[in-house]
Amino acid sequence: MKSYIIRIELEESNPLIWRRVIMPAGATFNRLHDVIQNVTNFQSGYPGSGYHLFEFDLSKENMIVTNNEEAYLEHQHYKKNKKMYEVRLKTMSPNMLEFEKRYQERLKIEVRKPTGLKIDNYLEKHKEIKYTYDFGDNWHFKVNHEQIVDDYYFGYPTLLDGAETAPPEDVGGIHGYYEFLEVYRNPKHPEHEEMKAWAESQYFRKYDPNWINESLKGLKYRKTEWDKINHERYQIIEDKYRKK
């Protein structure tokens, strides 16, 4: 099965929070979203429901891919009513004209739904995808294409490598995360026990490759005979593509 090895990095994290994953090439953007969610401590990916909005920035194609239904409907309305928007520009008051121009430039960007678009063409062509999760905390990721694999035997993604523990949900962005860690890791801090209880309620856990890989097995594309391959062969395949 044709697959990709990708490297996922959380921007602004220090030390860098990153994961290397091999996943089938036929994945949609929604499935890539699922992968990112499952290799972190976030909760929007399968099998959970949508916890926050997300967006893939495909600026080189003048496109975004998002589960933001409002953005999708706005773009559809613009496409169907371009003449109306042209009239608005001609009749807009001078003090609102620049705002309207910027608004319409944004509406020109194509908006696609993540369930109906595959990653293969874009990822192979441009090698990098930008992903933003939670428009409040604004988590920014880079997804880099590292390698094409033609003989990957599983219908689900596998974590190959990575480093550092990922943030929990609703922690207040990257700066909030490091403030959280200062309290969480300090048993003498007066808010330590309260923070531990909150972290548990957010399903926060330390980076655990084995747990992540058990979670990723749920992201199967379809039942195949390869699902029956024994653990020994699985380990051989994983070691073959792991970059040390």
Segment 88-106, tens digit of pLDDT: 999 999 899 999 999 999 9
Same domain, 229 and 176: no
Same domain, 117 and 103: no
Give the SS3 label for residue 9.
Answer: strand
- Over residues 15-53, the pLDDT tens digits come to 999 999 999 998 999 999 999 999 999 999 988 878 999
Same domain, 220 and 161: yes
Same domain, 89 and 177: no
Residue closest to 41 by CA, chosen among 183, 193, 238, 198: 198
Same domain, 80 and 181: no
Same domain, 132 and 239: yes
What CATH code is carried by the domain that includes residue 2? 3.10.290.30
Helix-strand-coil split of the chain, %, nearest 5: 45, 20, 35
The last residue of a domain, from among 108, 129, 158: 108
Domain of 85 in residue numbering reads as 70-108
Same domain, 63 and 172: no
Same domain, 45 and 57: yes
Q: Does pTM top 0.95 for this prediction?
A: no
Taking CA 131 as the corner, what is the angle to CA 234 and CA 166, rounded to the nearest 5 degrees?
60
Over the range 218-243, which residues count as b (16 or more CB within 10 Å of their CB) and which as e? ebebeeeeeeeeeeeeeeebbeebee
Same domain, 127 and 8: yes
In the chain, the number of structural domains is 3
Same domain, 157 and 216: yes
Cα R_g (the chain), whole angstroms:
21
The winner for highest mean pLDDT among 91-100, 114-123, 134-143, 225-234 is 134-143
Same domain, 127 and 103: no
Same domain, 156 and 133: yes
* pLDDT band of 155, cuts 50, 70, 90: confident
CA distance to 1, 120, 123, 139, 149, per residue, from 127 (Å): 20, 10, 5, 20, 15
Judge whether residue 232 has pLDDT over 60. Answer: no
Q: Among the residues of the chain, which ranges form H helices? A: 29-38, 69-80, 82-91, 94-107, 120-126, 173-184, 192-201, 209-216, 231-241
